[in-house]
Structure 1
Amino acid sequence: MIPNGYLIFEDENFLDSTVAKMNALRKNGQFCDVRLEVSGRELLAHRAILACCSPYLFEIFNSDVDSRGVCHVTFEDLDPQAVEVLLNYAYTAQLKADKELVKDVYSAAKRLKMERVKQICGEYLLSKMDCQNAISYRNFASCVGDWHLLGEIDGYIQEHLLQISDQEDFLKLPRLKLEVMLEDNQNLPSNGKLYSKVLNWVQRSLWENGGQLEKLMEEVQTLYYSADHRLLDGSPLEGQTNIFGNDDHIQFVQKKPLRENDHRQLNGSSSSNLSPSSTPQSGKPEWKYIASEKTTNNTYLCLAVLNGVLCVIFLHGRNSPQSSPSGTPCLLKSMSFEAQPEELEQKLLLPMHYARSGLGTAELDGKLIAAGGYNREECLRTVECYDPLKNCWMFIAPMRTPRARFQMAVLMGQLYVMGGSNGHSDELSCGETYDPHADEWTQVPELRTNRCNAGVCALNNRLFVVGGSDPSGQKGLKNCDAFDPISKTWTNCVPLNIRRHQAAVCELDNFMYVIGGAESWNCLNTVERYNPENNTWTLIAPMNVARRGAGVAVYQGKLFVVGGFDGSHALRCVEVYDPAKNEWKMLGSMTMARSNAGVVLLGGTICAVGGFDGNDFLNSMETYNPNTNEWSLYIDAFAAQRLSNGKGLKPALKD
């Protein structure tokens, strides 16, 4: 057809033909300008093709000053066959790999930051998992630090522990043998609190005595469980120290002074006694209960992760002297699983459906809203809603425009997003608002300046958009604009003192705070406060760490600044600002580094969701408990914080 005088023709075979020819050129080494050296094997390809599918290679090619010659990239730790599979995928969009090669393809895709391939490989592994390979699959997932894969595998192990315990891989796992002395007529409790106490006992034993986990497993360890549910270190007749208090509060009483570096270890910021190869690559080493079964009367078999090492814990309770436990017990197939799953299982906070960085987040009607963002492949329109009571994510109406590198705020009960990037044009001027009652997004008047990476904040029934970067390449603006939702008009405010983009912005006590960010690409630790009464910006005390792409939440009158990027690395560190003292203080670090993540106060709990850890885009969420100054990936920490807030406990944020 030739409508309006234009010739329009679609060749349905063109793409298939071109793809086949490009792949043939690669295999013949024609016009190739990339040479991949993978464990001694040479693979040729075309730079433009690889740059489109591998963000990792794109960054290498983009930083290559001499782009005219052949680019050399060397990988000593990848399987050449796995990389060949990824090359075929890059040219044909078809992923074909022998089942024995899938793990290597996963590892190569993770290195090249090919998220979709990594996801497909993970789903394939789960579909092929059975009782014989579950242990090896879990070791693989732990090694690559895939928390979603770990959660799925742990759920399978919990349901099939009896069958898995018969497998050779299970019998080869390191074993910790604990003999628990009981008072007369007592039995070991078969609930999650006992296993939680045991894991904490192992941690304290390593920290206090300076030993290694392997040494702890060389002989039977004797504990004592009293009638009032206390777990004691050794026989009470020997006068040993009480390690744990009641069921609700775990307390440790030192038997001798802590070693010099124990304070850092207790905060999770120092390396463990075990070798790094035994711990996951992302986040803290795991300390986790997985599953247990009763084997005989007063004998339990527990599978747990101790400092990143998958171990079998053999718990044996006795009332009178007898032979110590040894070997792996024979499970009684007729025994039922006694413990309640909700007591035993440390459930992970459910991840988002999509990994997202540069997303917009906000709390609305008791739920966490996560909108847009990017995940290497594209900018997203989708919006997810997290319900903390159900620990689940649901989709709500998508935004009208795909966007990332933006912030979101709640104004008069509605969500507002402004600017950002859609992945095609550098910056957007459009904005939209979400009505939760109608479940729909509508446009709002455009910004006067296209920009992304701007801060957004609701203050005095107006929406403020601060800083950002513009299409002219100016990274770091001083602009501050205010939107009136009633008149639907924009007005200019006095500009910032310092140009900045990717700053964290929030409202506290009728002031607006703009925190960190970057002027061009130089990260800032400076902080400015806006007073709407006299339309002025004032510089206040700077942060301890310069950072851009951080998140911020307000809790009990203080600002909590989370993660970000310092110019070299994604950050785990967190700091808090006390406006009464005009000072910043460092807090406990997150379980993993997150830049351009979403940070929200949800039900009295500070949540960090998504972001980028320096290697991977994240869909996980973690929460901060100010009473313990710790972050957790588990739902029980969320529940404990809500319970603490209900009891009126004050957070442990003391000088």
Structure 2
Amino acid sequence: MIPNGYLIFEDESFLDSTVAKMNALRKSGQFCDVRLQVCGHELMAHRAVLACCSPYLFEIFNSDAEPHGVAHVKFEDLDPQAVEVLLNYAYTAQLKADKELVKEVYSAAKRLKMERVKQICGDYLLSKMDAQSAISYRHFASGMGDARLLGKVDGFIQEHLLEVSEQEDFLKLPRLKLEVMLEDNLMLPSNGKLYSKVISWVQRSLWENGEPLERLMEEVQTLYYSADHKLLDRAVLDGQAEVFGAEEDHIQFVQKKAPRESVSRQLSTSSSGTLSPGSTKQPCKHEWKYIASEKTSNNTYLCLAVLDGTLCVIFLHGRNSPQSSPSATPCLLKSLSWEGPLESSEEERPLAPMHYARSGLGTASLDGRLIAAGGYNREECLRTVECYDLKKDCWTFVAPMRTPRARFQMAVLMGQLYVMGGSNGHSDELSCGETYNPTTDEWTQVPELRTNRCNAGVCSLSNKLYVVGGSDPCGQKGLKNCDAFDPVTKVWNSCAPLNIRRHQAAVCELDGFMYAIGGAESWNCLNSVERYNPDNNTWTLIAPMNVARRGAGVTVYEGKLYVVGGFDGTRALRCVEVYDPARNEWRMLGSMTSARSNAGVALLGTLICAVGGFDGNDFLNTMELYDLDTDEWTSCLSSA
């Protein structure tokens, strides 16, 4: 069209054609006047194109004393593949990155001040976030200084704190444990007010008294909540106070340090983020932030907070002041799910609970008794081992393991208990293992695994100990690895790998075969099952379960496999199913009274026992029994 004598023509294909040609020129190195040196890799590009999409590079090029020469820009802390993704975006307006590379692309976009790309990457990460990844995403967002992303992650954690608290990353966070003495008839305030007081107390300890945060976490801190609603060191109450600590998982009393000076002076946190001890202002060098909290039982709270720039878990338990209850027993290390003596009747009485709530524990039946070892309970991974006598309905302690561990399985081989791998809650997955001799009541080390791993299946087969699958050292995907340990030669040997990557699979032996049941491939729960034949060293897929699940328990009775509870990716499960190898089929049984994921399951006589685990809200110390004759679960014993 030629309005008013002017020629106007719009070529819709011109831009696409030009962009494609410019990108081809870049890749062939033609007319390039910029060399990006990224960790030893050299990437060619055109100054004008990069200056248009990266304010950071625009500033560099604009200040170049010789603009007509070839510019060299060096980056030693960016991923070359991520920078290549950004170059492709600059020339094509298309952002394409593998999911494993998105964080690196985000980091590179931040450095180059490409805000639109940074936002797109952040939104993608948020869309993939779940309870398993929330803590690592928060570390990333905090490290990037992205307030928008950080706010979204914290909002997710607030809504899913209990589920997040079951994950491996959460268990590895530093922990601050507080016991708060309460006067009679005094209650702790609501969560928000309570933790603002806790954070102020930590600030006071660090800024006014020079107390390093690490030292505050070395032992349980005993505080006093006064009638005028102030949270103070217990030293204010009685000069020198006793504080409850834990050594080898047994409660002890230790002498607290001399009372700190001026603890009653109040510090305030201003809106500008500075601390004001008296009239002297000091800058708050790091972030202080309350993120989320839950009341887990009566006067017991769980909180996630940032203290002096460190992401921490705070456990707080309020109890009566020793003045009104001098012989009171510390409750901090007791179960968060059992709040007191259970009511009983003449006909039935509740099964005795374990001393510790445990999830991700190892269980086995040994000499007619149930052994429950290790596990975690939100506060820490445990070393303690408890032994249940069904006839006496009581739990007693045996020798603790040498290493705290959770997310492992236990097996009996030649009359001894074996545990391998797992996690101690502080470092990467474990490679160490140990064995328990019931005659001497001692644990001894066994040769280490060749691969650090947790969430692996363990069972005995043909007088050997097998370790099946598990999590890789990064905890992001399942393993196919299977290893066999000979207790005579003390040597590990590899055997055939699984057909499917699995961690948190239930593993057991039946009629000379080993079964790997369910689990997860990454965090997608599986219903598939495979069977190992040691004669020809092969794994074969068999009939799948009715319900996909990870973290289930398994036991064998009268030639059949019983799979109990677990997690289906959304919720902890109550459902139970049984496998008949003669028919190669699964069928559903009566459900448990409580949902349980990562619980312990074992056979005592003719009864299947499920103990501990996580029900979606609480870590459990309770137990229930399955009667095959009635197809019912019960948490009580008949007194008859």
TM range (shorter): 0.5 to 0.7
Question: Matches of residues 548-587 of structure 1 in structure 2 within 5 Å?
Answer: 548-587=550-589
Aligned-partner Cα distance in 2 for 1:125–1:591: 36
What per-residue deviation string (whole Å, max 9, x for no partner) do you get for residues 104-155 of structure 1?
89568457599x998944x6599999xxxxxxxxxxxxxxx98633534x3x
Q: Secondary structure at the match of 2:350?
A: coil
Aligned-partner Cα distance in 2 for 1:99–1:606: 50
Tell me what 2:483 maps to.
Answer: 481
2:338 partner amino acid? H
Larger of the two Rg values belongs to structure: 2
Aligned-partner Cα distance in 2 for 1:461–1:617: 34
Shift of 1:86: 4.1
Q: Tell me, yes or no, if structure 1 residue 149 matches structure 2 residue 339.
A: yes
The 1:58–1:108 alpha-carbon spacing in structure 2 relative to 1, beyond 3 Å, is farther
CA contact (8 A) 2:301 2:317 kept: no
CA contact (8 A) 1:623 1:633 kept: yes
Q: TM-score, normalised by structure 1?
A: 0.52
CA contact (8 A) 1:414 1:436 kept: yes
Shift of 1:85: 2.7
Tell me what 1:522 maps to.
Answer: 524
Aligned-partner Cα distance in 2 for 1:146–1:450: 31
Shift of 1:635: 2.1
CA contact (8 A) 1:151 1:348 kept: no
Q: How many residue pairs are counted as aligned between the two chains? A: 379
Shift of 1:473: 4.5
Tell me what 1:352 maps to.
Answer: 354
Tell me what 1:466 maps to.
Answer: 468
Shift of 1:470: 2.1
Q: Secondary structure at the match of 1:354?
A: coil
What per-residue deviation string (whole Å, max 9, x for no partner) do you get for residues 169-206 of structure 1?
xxxxxxxxxxxxxxxxxxxxxxxxxxxxxxxxxxxxxx
Question: Matches of residues 323-472 of structure 1 in structure 2 within 5 Å?
Answer: 343-344=346-347, 346-472=348-474
Question: Matches of residues 528-543 of structure 1 in structure 2 within 5 Å?
Answer: 528-543=530-545
Aligned-partner Cα distance in 2 for 1:109–1:81: 12
Q: Tell me, yes or no, if structure 1 residue 84 matches structure 2 residue 207.
A: no
Is there any run of 5+ residues in structure 2 with no aligned partner, and where? 1-131, 160-186, 203-220, 230-293, 306-312, 326-334
Shift of 1:98: 7.0
Q: Secondary structure at the match of 1:88?
A: helix
Is there any run of 5+ residues in structure 1 with no aligned partner, and where? 1-54, 130-144, 155-289, 292-342, 641-655
Shift of 1:374: 1.0
Tell me what 2:615 maps to.
Answer: 613
1:476 partner amino acid? G
Q: Secondary structure at the match of 2:338?
A: helix
Shift of 1:489: 0.8
CA contact (8 A) 1:86 1:109 kept: no
CA contact (8 A) 2:303 2:315 kept: no
CA contact (8 A) 1:88 1:95 kept: no
Of 509, 512, 518, the residue aligned with 2:511 is: 509
Shift of 1:95: 4.8
Aligned-partner Cα distance in 2 for 1:353–1:419: 24
1:524 partner amino acid? L
CA contact (8 A) 2:337 2:618 kept: no
CA contact (8 A) 1:57 1:112 kept: no
What per-residue deviation string (whole Å, max 9, x for no partner) do you get for residues 25-77 of structure 1?
xxxxxxxxxxxxxxxxxxxxxxxxxxxxxx999699569799632747679xx
What per-residue deviation string (whole Å, max 9, x for no partner) do you get for residues 240-270 of structure 1?
xxxxxxxxxxxxxxxxxxxxxxxxxxxxxxx
Q: Tell me, yes or no, if structure 1 residue 68 matches structure 2 residue 177.
A: no
Aligned-partner Cα distance in 1 for 2:536–2:134: 50
CA contact (8 A) 1:563 1:574 kept: yes
The 1:118–1:430 alpha-carbon spacing in structure 2 relative to 1, beyond 3 Å, is closer
2:440 partner amino acid? A
Shift of 1:625: 1.2
Shift of 1:595: 0.7
What is the percent sequence identity of the aligned residues?
65
What per-residue deviation string (whole Å, max 9, x for no partner) do you get for residues 398-421 of structure 1?
111111111100000000001111
Question: Matches of residues 231-380 of structure 1 in structure 2 within 5 Å?
Answer: 343-344=346-347, 346-380=348-382
Shift of 1:362: 0.4
Aligned-partner Cα distance in 2 for 1:362–1:348: 22
What per-residue deviation string (whole Å, max 9, x for no partner) do you get for residues 309-360 of structure 1?
xxxxxxxxxxxxxxxxxxxxxxxxxxxxxxxxxx34x211111111111111
CA contact (8 A) 1:106 1:117 kept: no
Aligned-partner Cα distance in 2 for 1:100–1:585: 60
Tell me what 1:492 maps to.
Answer: 494
Q: Secondary structure at the match of 1:84?
A: helix
The 1:426–1:59 alpha-carbon spacing in structure 2 relative to 1, beyond 3 Å, is closer
Tell me what 2:634 maps to.
Answer: 632
1:401 partner amino acid? T
Aligned-partner Cα distance in 2 for 1:416–1:381: 14
CA contact (8 A) 1:85 1:97 kept: no
Aligned-partner Cα distance in 2 for 1:389–1:576: 27
CA contact (8 A) 1:409 1:457 kept: yes
CA contact (8 A) 2:602 2:608 kept: yes
Q: TM-score, normalised by structure 2?
A: 0.54
Shift of 1:591: 1.1
What per-residue deviation string (whole Å, max 9, x for no partner) do you get for residues 531-555 of structure 1?
1111111100000111111000111
Aligned-partner Cα distance in 2 for 1:127–1:588: 49
Aligned-partner Cα distance in 2 for 1:555–1:626: 10
The 1:128–1:362 alpha-carbon spacing in structure 2 relative to 1, beyond 3 Å, is farther
Q: Secondary structure at the match of 2:412?
A: strand
